[in-house]
């Protein structure tokens, strides 16, 4: 009550009008790590609340559940200085996020607040954190290719506008570098990048590289480093996806990049465990895996607006395990996946794309028959060489035994050069297809 009286006196002293409408508030009664219990305040899940500490100190928390007549909330920051009995007040628009074209050219945190020092962002459009659910038949098919400027991807795993693709690899194999190359070379009206759970240094470096020049005006960055609260990381992923959905509703071709989907699953797992949900697949509660499925399904083409969201999601394979629950769940729902190999990277080939394990499920629908045939032949030659690599290295293979392997051995240096590319080099889709067909022609 004292805090409420102080707030009212401050409003009167500032010359503002006196608001006599009743204000709902509750009080903190328990705190267990980042999970707090509030009594006397019934608000919907997803509501953001302010916790007043007095003397200008405030905390923010998000409602995540209910238990024994108390509202369960999770802090958006540290619990330092939080005390029993602190007053908790709800903020407006529960479950809604503010989005808009004013976010282009800006960098914000998971709550939508600027972190680039360029001042506040104008009032945006309210958008549901979970997006607007649409029927399956409202999603138009992927019919147009997307040029990403990377020769190996353009030629062998061609992307389409509205496709959802995963970049899967262990730590330190080059996911973030490949993501940078795609951002640098992709043809899109707007680019939304969600840097979720990554190192703060990487966030700073990314902003310095891409938020200058002509491209900055059509790029929005949502950054929530690894040291932030789990629900703030999850809100960051939802904000990036909601922003991309809003731009798609304006008819724009949007490239949405989320780095990384695994960190989003980790955040959802932390929240689920706090609420007492049992762990299932390697400690991941069912809600954690369903969270990444819901995020991925929000990307795609819109038949109503004519816009599209091409989603590219990096997925960390813990221990280089391609059967990790997050990797397996993402691979099952995505329209394609790019697998990066540590063994290939150790040979000095970058980007370290494992062509045999990578796949684009829409490629055959968006490329010419000649392109498709050349890609199939390239894959066959690569598979033949890799299957017999040890024999060739030891000199145990006798030329003439296998015609396909003979061709693969003869073309191997050129194939490795074809798959390799500098981080700042760009190769168009047409050039990549022509170079691949010319290479394959020497195998005939």
What does 161-200 look like in DSSP terms, one character per residue?
TT-EEEEEE-TTSSHHHHHHHHHHH---SEEEEEEES--H
In this predicted structure, what is the pLDDT of residue 13? 56
What does the pLDDT read at residue 354? 93
**pTM, to two decimals:** 0.87
Instruction: Give the tens place of pLDDT for each residue, 9-40.
Output: 555 555 555 555 567 889 999 988 778 999 99
**Rounded-to-integer distance, Cα 60 and Cα 77, Å:** 7
DSSP 284: B
Express as a percent the part of the chain with pLDDT over 70: 93
Residue 258: beta bridge partners?
Answer: 194, 313
State CA 49 to chain mean position distance.
Answer: 26
pLDDT band at 309 (very low <50, low <70, confident <90, very high): very high
pLDDT tens for 49-66 read: 999 876 667 888 999 888
What are 256's strand-pairing partners? 192, 311
pLDDT digits (tens, 9 = 90+) for 254-271: 999 998 899 999 999 988
pLDDT at 202 over 60: yes
Res 374 pLDDT > 90: yes
Quick one: average pLDDT of 175-204? Answer: 86
Specify the pLDDT at position 15. Answer: 53
Confidence of residue 8 (pLDDT cuts 50, 70, 90): low
For residue 424, pLDDT over 90 is answered with no
Per domain, the residue ranges of the chain are 21-90, 96-362, 370-442
Within 8 A by CB and 6+ apart from 168, the residues are 314, 315, 317, 322, 327, 330, 331, 337, 338, 339, 340
Average pLDDT of the residues of the chain: 86
Does domain 21-90 fall under CATH 2.40.110.10? My reply is: no
Looking at 3.40.50.12240, 3.30.200.20, 3.40.190.10, 3.40.50.300, the CATH number of the domain 96-362 comes to 3.40.50.12240
- Whole-number pLDDT of residue 56: 67
Task: Give the range with max mean pLDDT: 28-32, 116-120, 366-370.
Answer: 366-370
Second CATH level (architecture) for the domain 370-442: Up-down Bundle (1.20)
């Amino acid at each position: 009550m004292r805090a409420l009286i102080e707030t009212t006196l401050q409003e009167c002293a500032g010359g503002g009008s006196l608001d006599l409408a009743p204000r709902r508030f509750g009080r903190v009664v328990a705190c267990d790590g980042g999970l707090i219990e509030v009594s006397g305040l019934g608000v919907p899940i997803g509501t953001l609340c302010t916790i007043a500490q007095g003397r200008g100190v405030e905390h923010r928390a998000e409602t995540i559940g209910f238990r024994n007549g108390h509202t369960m909330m999770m802090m958006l920051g540290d619990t330092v200085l939080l005390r029993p009995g602190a007053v908790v007040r709800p903020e407006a628009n529960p479950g809604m996020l503010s989005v808009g074209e004013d976010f282009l050219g800006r960098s914000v945190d998971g709550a939508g607040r600027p972190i680039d020092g360029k001042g506040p962002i104008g009032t945006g459009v309210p958008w549901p954190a979970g997006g607007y659910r649409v029927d399956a038949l409202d999603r138009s098919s992927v019919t147009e290719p997307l040029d990403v400027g990377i020769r190996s991807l353009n030629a062998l795993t061609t992307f389409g506008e509205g496709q959802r693709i995963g970049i899967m690899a262990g730590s330190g194999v080059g996911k973030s570098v490949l993501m940078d190359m795609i951002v640098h070379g992709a043809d899109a009206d707007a680019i939304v990048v969600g840097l979720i759970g990554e190192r703060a240094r990487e966030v700073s470096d990314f902003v310095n590289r891409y938020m200058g020049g002509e491209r900055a005006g059509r790029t929005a960055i949502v950054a929530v480093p690894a040291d932030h609260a789990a629900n703030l990381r999850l809100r960051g992923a939802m904000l990036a996806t909601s922003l991309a959905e809003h731009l798609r509703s304006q008819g724009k071709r949007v490239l949405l990049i989320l780095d990384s989907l695994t960190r989003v699953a980790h955040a959802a797992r932390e929240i689920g465990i706090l609420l007492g949900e049992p762990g299932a697949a390697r400690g991941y509660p069912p809600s954690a895996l369903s969270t990444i499925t819901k995020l991925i399904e929000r990307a795609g083409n819109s038949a109503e607006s004519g816009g599209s969201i091409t989603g590219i999601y990096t997925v960390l394979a813990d221990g280089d395990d391609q059967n990790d629950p997050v990797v397996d769940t993402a691979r099952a729902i995505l329209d394609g996946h790019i697998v990066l190999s540590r063994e290939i990277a150790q040979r000095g080939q970058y980007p370290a794309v494992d062509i045999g394990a990578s796949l684009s499920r829409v490629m055959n629908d968006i490329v010419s028959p000649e392109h498709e045939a050349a890609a199939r032949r390239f894959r066959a030659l690569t598979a033949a060489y890799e299957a017999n690599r040890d024999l060739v290295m030891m000199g145990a293979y006798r030329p003439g035994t296998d015609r396909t392997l003979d061709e693969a051995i003869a073309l191997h240096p050129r194939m490795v050069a074809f798959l390799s590319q500098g981080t700042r080099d760009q190769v168009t889709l047409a050039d990549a297809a022509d170079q691949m067909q010319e290479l394959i022609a020497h195998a005939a």
